[in-house]
């Protein structure tokens, strides 16, 4: 009886923890805005020809990939000029499985929204 109650309690706590983690991911994702045409213009000052599609891909990759290893940072957590180096370092030194295109897209996206 005691063991059954303990198993039930652990199952409930695990479910609550899983729900809280999912909710935290959604909450952070909700604070990272979708890119606008103004953001594409801002990113184009550093990466000429940046499209809104590239920024959208960067946001998707950031939400899908970066939260696997750590909590997602707000765009203001790093100086906007440092995002490219920061994302590249996550791949080279910390083993983040990101393609060259994902590194570029994530960097552009974070730079652009940090420029707001």
* Rounded Cα–Cα distance for residues 89 and 87 (Å): 5
Rg (C-alpha) for the chain, rounded Å, is 18
Judge whether 107 and 84 are in contact, CB under 8 Å: yes
pTM of the model: 0.73
Q: What ranges make up the beta strands (E) of 29-86?
A: none
Predicted confidence at residue 31, as pLDDT, reads 79
What would the pLDDT profile of 62-116 be if each residue is shown by its tens digit? 999 998 989 999 999 999 999 999 999 999 999 999 999 999 999 999 999 999 9
pLDDT band at 21 (very low <50, low <70, confident <90, very high): very low
* Rounded Cα–Cα distance for residues 75 and 83 (Å): 9
pLDDT reading at 33 higher than 90: yes
Judge whether 95 and 72 are in contact, CB under 8 Å: no
Judge whether 35 and 112 are in contact, CB under 8 Å: yes
Range 6-39 burial, b when 16+ CB lie within 10 A, else e: eeeeeeeeeeeeeeeeeeeeeeeeeebeebeeeb
* Rounded Cα–Cα distance for residues 46 and 115 (Å): 11
């Amino acid at each position: 009886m005691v063991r059954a109650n303990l198993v039930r309690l652990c199952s409930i706590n695990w479910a609550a923890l899983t729900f809280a983690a999912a909710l935290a991911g959604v909450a952070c994702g909700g604070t990272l805005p979708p890119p606008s045409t103004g953001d594409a213009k801002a990113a184009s000052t550093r990466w000429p020809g940046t499209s809104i599609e590239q920024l959208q891909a960067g946001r998707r990759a950031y939400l899908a990939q970066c939260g696997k290893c750590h909590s997602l940072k707000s765009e203001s957590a790093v100086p906007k000029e440092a995002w490219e180096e920061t994302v590249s370092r996550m791949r080279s030194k910390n083993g983040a499985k990101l393609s060259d295109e994902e590194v570029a897209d994530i960097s552009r996206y974070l730079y652009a929204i940090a420029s707001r």
